[in-house]
A = this chain, B = another copy of it.
Amino acid sequence: MYFKSTFFGDYQLQDKRVTLGRTITETDFVVHAGHTGDFFPHHMDAEWCATQPFKRRIAHGTMIFSIGIGLTASEINPEAMSKGYDKLRFVKPVFIGDTIHSEITILEKGESKRPEYGTVTEHVEIINQHGEVVLVCDHLLVVKKKSV
């Protein structure tokens, strides 16, 4: 974890970075339920899940989002600010023991309301050990332009 300034002009469309992986454990399920208060049986009741289509407990969507985004948190860019996310979709379930990583691609660049800033959209894919995308979203950044 370290600071590194990356200005609007430094972002290149289609540039891609790939994070390391992390195995999602039963512990993560229990921690996320306790952290958020969401104890729905889909995540917490193995007996009930055995009677449902997926047969197993499935991860909270908010957890896969939070951990998948957390995996990208290594370089701190003091020139960028996160505005939010668009098109967050839960594509496939994640089960206990799955290993996920994130892939981030620079999707779009645009002008901001304030002329000294631009907007950058990163497309994030969270991918399991079978190479299947389990969650996608677009991360919206506002990034400072290098002053001339």
17 A-B pairs in the complex with CB atoms less than 8 angstroms apart:
A1-B19, A21-B44, A21-B48, A22-B45, A23-B45, A23-B57, A25-B29, A27-B27, A34-B34, A35-B66, A36-B69, A36-B70, A37-B37, A46-B97, A61-B82, A62-B65, A84-B90
Looking at chain A's contact residues, the main secondary structure is mixed
Q: How many copies does the complex hold?
A: 6
> Which of A's residues lie within 8 Å of B, judged by CB?
1-3, 19-23, 25-41, 44-48, 57, 60-63, 65-67, 69-71, 73-74, 76, 82-90, 97, 99, 129, 137
- Residues of B near A48 (CB, < 8 A) are 20-21, 99
- Kindly identify which residue among B67, B70, B82, B99 contacts A45, using a CB–CB cutoff of 8 Å: B99
B23 touches A44 (CB 8 A): yes
A30 touches B31 (CB 8 A): yes
B2 touches A66 (CB 8 A): no
B39 touches A22 (CB 8 A): yes
